[in-house]
């Protein structure tokens, strides 16, 4: 499987993002849960406690209104007290209905007990109102002081029970919120530490991997820079570093091949056929052109060696030392040959003149010999 640096970085950042997202999810979820607990406490136990306190306040107001009725000295005060009693009874019943409607499971029996209590107390209150209306104020006062006091104590106990349930529910919710907070806090700390460790481990791992590969590449490049082409880098990773190492190894191998061709050319072997790796391989193209030019120069030299001075070496540039030397050599050889031919012609002419003189001398000698013979004959004749 190929694990590129991009893949490694993506995996590392993906894990970090996942940890961050998980941490955010748990944090938001925990905050939402705690907010729900807060709302449940406000709408549940705390609201129940508020309703219970409102019941107690309504009942106290009802008791004060009954007292005002019992102490009323005129019809106006009596009517006002009756109106206030009716208002407090209506408010109590409204609060009782809301408490019964919204009561959680643990609070339901207490509110049902309050409802039963209220059913009994309404009878007492109606009896007090009836006694006052019939002029039996003392009897009404006695009922208020006896049965009314007992009812007040009973309601206080019921309200206290609701308060106790509220306090217990708040403590339970508070403990649950604390546990939820501790769990979320521990989870977020764990995720944060895990993300940090994963990030550090990934950074160190990739840094070591990249640094190790780049160090090997740098060693090979430095060796090539000083002419050492025997370096071969090996890596075990399968990523962009491996691609770079393979490129360096391929470059070194190509340079070794080129160096081998150069060695054969230096040894005089012009049969080599350098093949450029591409149209942009300047070194390969230069080697091919060099071999081609050396072959052309070698052919010219062979023709000169065979005595053919009709060749015309053409230097490739004004810095083509070998081409200029061949051109100069051919010109000089042509001059030498011309001089030799001239000398040969001169020698040939001198030989012809010498031959004519020899013939003349021979003829003179013959003539002299003939004259001598004639003279000798004459002398012999004269002697005879």
244 lies in a domain?
Answer: no
The total number of structural domains in the chain stands at 1
* Residue 1 in this model has a pLDDT that exceeds 70: no
Domain membership of residue 84 (yes or no) is yes
pLDDT in tens, 180-192: 888 888 888 888 8
Measured between alpha carbons, how far is residue 210 from residues 35, 204, 207, 240 in Å?
A: 48, 10, 5, 9
pLDDT at 365 over 70: no
Model confidence band, residue 116 (pLDDT cutoffs 50, 70, 90): very high
Q: So what's the pLDDT on residue 80? A: 93
Contacts of residue 285, defined as CB under 8 A and 6 or more positions apart, other chains included, come to 276
Q: Please give the DSSP secondary-structure letter assigned to residue 279.
A: T
Q: Are 196 and 217 in contact (CB under 8 A)?
A: no
In a domain, 319, yes or no: no
- The rounded percent of the chain whose pLDDT value lies above 70 is 88
For 176, the 3-state DSSP assignment is helix
Residue 107 tokens, joined: 């609070």
For residue 115, what pLDDT band results from cuts at 50, 70 and 90? Answer: very high
Q: What is the mean pLDDT of the chain?
A: 81
Considering the domain boundaries, does residue 47 fall inside one?
yes
pLDDT greater than 60 at residue 356: no
Supply the DSSP symbol for 277: S
What the block records as the tokens of 375 is 């003279």
Q: What is the 3-state secondary structure (H, E, C) of 5-30?
A: HHHHHHHHHHHHHHHHHHHHHHHHHH
Taking 80 as the threshold, does the pLDDT of residue 175 lie above it? yes
In-domain check, residue 322: no
Q: Is residue 238 part of a domain?
A: no
Tokens encoding 315:
């230097």
Alpha-carbon distance 196 to 199, whole Å? 5
Tell me the backbone φ, ψ of residue 6, rounded to 5 degrees. Answer: -60, -40
Would the pTM of this model clear 0.75, i.e. be above it? no
Domain that holds residue 39: 5-205
What's the pLDDT tens digit per position in 330-350? 788 878 877 877 887 776 666
Asked whether residue 247 is domain-assigned, the answer is: no
pLDDT at 364 over 60: no
């Amino acid at each position: 499987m190929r694990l590129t640096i991009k893949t490694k970085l993506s995996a590392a950042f993906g894990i970090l993002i996942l940890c961050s997202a998980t941490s955010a999810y748990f944090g938001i979820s925990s905050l939402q849960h705690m907010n729900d607990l807060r709302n449940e406490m406000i709408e549940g136990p705390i609201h129940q406690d508020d309703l219970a306190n409102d019941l107690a306040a309504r009942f106290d107001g009802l008791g004060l209104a009954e007292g005002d009725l019992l102490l009323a000295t005129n019809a106006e005060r009596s009517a006002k007290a009756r109106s206030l009693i009716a208002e407090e009874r209506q408010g109590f019943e409204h609060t009782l209905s809301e408490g019964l409607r919204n009561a959680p499971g643990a609070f339901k029996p207490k509110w049902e007990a309050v409802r039963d209590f209220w059913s009994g107390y309404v009878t007492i209150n109606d009896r007090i109102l009836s006694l006052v209306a019939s002029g039996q104020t003392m009897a009404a006062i006695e009922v208020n002081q006896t049965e009314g006091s007992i009812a007040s104590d009973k309601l206080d106990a019921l309200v206290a029970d609701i308060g106790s349930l509220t306090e217990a529910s708040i403590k339970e919710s508070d403990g649950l919120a604390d546990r939820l907070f501790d769990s979320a806090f521990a989870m977020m700390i764990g995720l944060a530490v895990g993300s940090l460790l994963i990030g550090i481990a990934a950074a160190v791992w990739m840094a070591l991997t990249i640094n190790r590969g780049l160090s090997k590449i740098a060693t090979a490049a430095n060796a090539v820079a000083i002419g050492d082409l025997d370096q071969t880098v090996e890596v075990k990773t399968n990523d962009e570093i491996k691609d770079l190492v393979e490129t360096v190894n391929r470059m070194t191998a190509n340079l070794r091949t080129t160096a081998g061709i150069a060695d054969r050319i230096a040894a005089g072997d012009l049969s080599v056929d350098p093949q450029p790796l591409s149209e942009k391989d300047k070194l390969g193209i230069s080697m091919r052109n060099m071999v081609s030019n050396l072959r052309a120069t070698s052919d010219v030299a062979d023709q000169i060696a065979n005595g053919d001075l009709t060749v015309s070496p053409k230097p490739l540039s004004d810095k083509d030392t070998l081409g200029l030397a061949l051109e100069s050599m051919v010109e000089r050889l042509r001059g030498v040959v011309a001089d030799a031919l001239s000398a040969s012609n001169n020698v040939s002419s001198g030989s012809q003149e010498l031959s004519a003189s020899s013939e003349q001398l021979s003829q003179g000698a013959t003539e002299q010999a003939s004259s001598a013979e004639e003279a000798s004959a004459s002398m012999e004749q004269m002697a005879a």
